[in-house]
């Protein structure tokens, strides 16, 4: 057995799991080198926790363990022993209480991605560090008018975010609709990627892959490789899709089926939008209706070119990247057969987040995303910056007046795409490379194309406090492409 690296030992629990792996106890696995993943199993849904009487209280234990991924036992990290962690279902106006227990050998914390909640104190405060062996009680009060939709949670301790998510720490959050949307079935599809060596370990990402943004050799849905599920013709299913990949862009297709998009991230369209394919950058979510037609359809992730740096191979390049296959990567297989079902009632009109295009703008800002060689750095090392600076937790980069609307022009001077994420406050896309939008498009992760720009507006309402914005290629965030913002 090859020894694991010091970084891998720290990630997987030091003398806990790593020590067991090095010995002869029950966590030595016999996977042959690059063993083929087990495919075709029945699609499993993550365990659910639902709010009751206006509250949901859960315990999330972040710990290393022997966890099933792609049908194989792996040395990974999980919340409550699973990948993904439990799905948390809440309603607008609820209080969500999460007791985070850190059984890792490195610091961690928790970010409730996309939720419009306070960043102060024990809210969505990414500046908290929960040390190994420690616990922290988070509490989030959702506004009464919180947008329904699909969100997610994951660690956000700077410098360790990509490694901890790549190893399995993530889970879904669903904010229920005030007026239910009738569906024959509802499925949570948490898409992730990772890489396993022949012993079921997650190897350390090389420096080059971190600079490009790592892409794993396995693309999984709810921890499974190409699971299958079935339906009858005419069913209208609701799929909640989350891209939890560290860096991978997901260009999704489900040929042969009718797809209607309710919204992206926390944004909603007034009526469902018919689509042929979806592009989810890391951190994006889609709320999708699928009306089924007889036959077999495969949910595929097709290759998406997100750029590269001169002299470097493209992200996830090589024969082991499943999305580079001619037909892309098969994520899940839907089989539709049997007697047709009766049509369901029409989807009720949806309330969006409004439209800021006619609002008064209190301030206009230029946010510059850049990647390049750093002065005085080692050979081949790159710098990832926002407005020319790498992240410093002690520094506040942007100060905003509470209750105002600001317009930000996000400019990307690098030859790689960067998905820009703002915590707490969603963004309305106003222009993309100089082209105005026809409708109100709201997202909390906005792709800024290579050598391009996007203009957004943000209403800094409801909350004050200190939070962050960053590139959601999480290796880039860990390498410095993040800034701190304070609303006061």
Mean pLDDT per block of 10 residues along the chain (488 residues) reads 46 43 32 69 97 98 96 96 98 98 97 98 98 98 97 98 98 95 96 94 94 96 98 97 98 97 95 96 98 97 89 57 80 97 90 93 98 61 93 98 98 97 98 90 97 98 98 97 98
Let me know if residue 343 belongs to a domain.
no
The DSSP H or E segment spanning 292 is none
Q: Are residues 445 and 473 in the same domain?
A: yes
User: Residues with Cβ < 8 Å from 311, sequence gap 6 or more?
Assistant: none
Residue 232: name the closest of 344, 355, 79 by CA: 344
Q: Are residues 27 and 160 in the same domain?
A: yes
Let me know if residue 348 belongs to a domain.
no
Measured between alpha carbons, how far is 282 from 419 in angstroms, rounded to an integer?
A: 7
The answer to whether 412 and 449 have CB atoms below 8 angstroms apart is yes
Phi and psi angles of residue 322, each rounded to the nearest 5 degrees, phi first: -65, -30
Let me know if residue 346 belongs to a domain.
no
Q: Are residues 298 and 414 in the same domain?
A: no
Q: Are residues 141 and 209 in the same domain?
A: no
Q: Are residues 378 and 283 in the same domain?
A: no
Q: Are residues 323 and 277 in the same domain?
A: yes
Q: Are residues 377 and 451 in the same domain?
A: yes
User: Residues with Cβ < 8 Å from 106, sequence gap 6 or more?
Assistant: 10, 11, 132, 157, 160
Measured between alpha carbons, how far is 389 from 371 in angstroms, rounded to an integer?
A: 11
Let me know if residue 352 belongs to a domain.
no
Measured between alpha carbons, how far is 174 from 87 in angstroms, rounded to an integer?
A: 7
Q: Give the model's pLDDT for residue 377.
A: 47
The answer to whether 415 and 308 have CB atoms below 8 angstroms apart is yes
Residue 167: name the closest of 218, 121, 123, 239 by CA: 218
Tens digit of pLDDT for each residue in 61-81?
999 999 999 999 999 999 999
**How many domains does the chain contain in total?**
3
Q: Are residues 130 and 217 in the same domain?
A: no
Q: Give the model's pLDDT for residue 394.
A: 97
Residue 243: name the closest of 474, 479, 2 by CA: 474
Q: Are residues 193 and 283 in the same domain?
A: yes
DSSP state of 305: -
Measured between alpha carbons, how far is 237 from 258 in angstroms, rounded to an integer?
A: 10
Q: Are residues 149 and 223 in the same domain?
A: no
Measured between alpha carbons, how far is 164 from 46 in angstroms, rounded to an integer?
A: 19
What is the span of the domain harbouring residue 465? Answer: 363-487
Q: What CATH number is associated with residue 318?
A: 2.60.40.420
Q: Are residues 367 and 298 in the same domain?
A: no
Burial class (CB in 10 A: 0-12, 13-18, 19+), 193: buried
Q: Give the model's pLDDT for residue 49.
A: 98
Measured between alpha carbons, how far is 244 from 375 in angstroms, rounded to an integer?
A: 33
Q: Are residues 203 and 250 in the same domain?
A: yes
Let me know if residue 127 belongs to a domain.
yes
Measured between alpha carbons, how far is 5 from 18 in angstroms, rounded to an integer?
A: 10
Chain-centre distance of CA 438, in angstroms?
Answer: 27
Residue 474, both tokens: 């999480």
Mind giving me the DSSP string for 161-182? HHHHHHTT--EEEEEPPSSPPP
> Which of 123, 151, 175 represents a domain boundary (last residue)?
175
Measured between alpha carbons, how far is 113 from 171 in angstroms, rounded to an integer?
A: 10
Chain-centre distance of CA 68, in angstroms?
Answer: 20
Tens digit of pLDDT for each residue in 338-363?
999 998 989 988 888 999 999 999 99
Let me know if residue 351 belongs to a domain.
no
């Amino acid at each position: 057995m090859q020894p694991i690296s010091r970084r891998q030992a720290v990630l997987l629990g030091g003398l806990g799991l790593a020590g067991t792996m090095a010995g002869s106890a029950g966590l030595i696995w016999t996977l042959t080198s690059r063993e083929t993943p087990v495919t075709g199993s029945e699609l499993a849904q993550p365990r659910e926790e639902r709010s009751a009487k206006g509250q949901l209280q859960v315990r999330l234990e972040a710990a290393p363990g022997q966890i099933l991924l792609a049908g194989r036992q792996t040395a990974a990290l999980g919340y409550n022993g699973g990948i993904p962690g439990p799905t948390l279902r809440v309603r607008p106006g609820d209080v969500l209480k999460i007791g985070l227990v850190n059984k890792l050998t490195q610091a961690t914390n928790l970010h409730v991605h996309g939720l419009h909640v306070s960043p102060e104190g024990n809210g969505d405060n990414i500046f908290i560090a929960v040390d190994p062996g420690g616990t922290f009680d988070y509490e989030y009060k959702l506004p009464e008018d919180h947008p329904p939709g699909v969100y997610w949670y994951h660690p956000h301790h700077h410098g360790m975010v990509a490694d901890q998510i790549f190893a399995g720490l993530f889970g879904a959050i669903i904010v229920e609709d005030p007026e239910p949307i009738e569906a024959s079935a509802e499925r949570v599809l948490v898409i992730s990627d990772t890489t396993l060596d022949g012993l079921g370990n997650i190897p350390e990402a090389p420096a080059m892959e971190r600079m490009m943004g790592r892409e794993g050799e396995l693309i999984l849905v709810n921890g499974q490789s190409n699971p299958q599920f079935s339906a009858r013709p005419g069913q209208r299913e609701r799929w909640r899709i989350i891209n939890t990949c560290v860096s991978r862009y997901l260009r999704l297709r489900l040929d042969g089926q009718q797809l209607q998009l309710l919204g992206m991230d926390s944004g909603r369209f007034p009526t469902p939008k018919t689509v042929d394919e979806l592009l989810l950058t890391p951190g994006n979510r889609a709320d999708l209706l699928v009306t089924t037609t007889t036959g077999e359809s495969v949910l595929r992730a097709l290759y998406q070119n997100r750029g590269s740096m001169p002299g470097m191979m493209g992200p996830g390049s090589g024969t082991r990247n499943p999305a580079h296959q001619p037909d892309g990567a098969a994520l899940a297989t839907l089989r539709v057969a049997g007697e047709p079902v009766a049509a369901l009632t029409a989807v009720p009109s949806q309330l969006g987040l409004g439209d800021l295009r006619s609002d008064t703008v209190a301030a206009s800002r230029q946010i510059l995303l850049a990647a390049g060689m750093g002065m005085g750095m080692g050979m081949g090392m790159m710098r990832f910056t926002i407005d020319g600076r790498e992240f410093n937790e002690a520094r506040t980069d942007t100060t905003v007046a509470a209750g105002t609307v600001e317009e930000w022009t996000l400019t990307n001077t690098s030859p790689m795409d960067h998905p820009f994420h703002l915590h707490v406050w969603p963004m309305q896309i106003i222009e993309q490379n100089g082209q105005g939008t026809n409708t109100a498009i709201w997202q909390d992760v906005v792709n800024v194309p290579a050598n391009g720009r996007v203009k957004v507006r943000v209403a800094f309402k409801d909350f004050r406090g200190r939070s962050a914005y960053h590139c959601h290629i999480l290796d880039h965030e860990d390498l410095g492409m993040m800034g701190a913002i304070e609303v006061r």
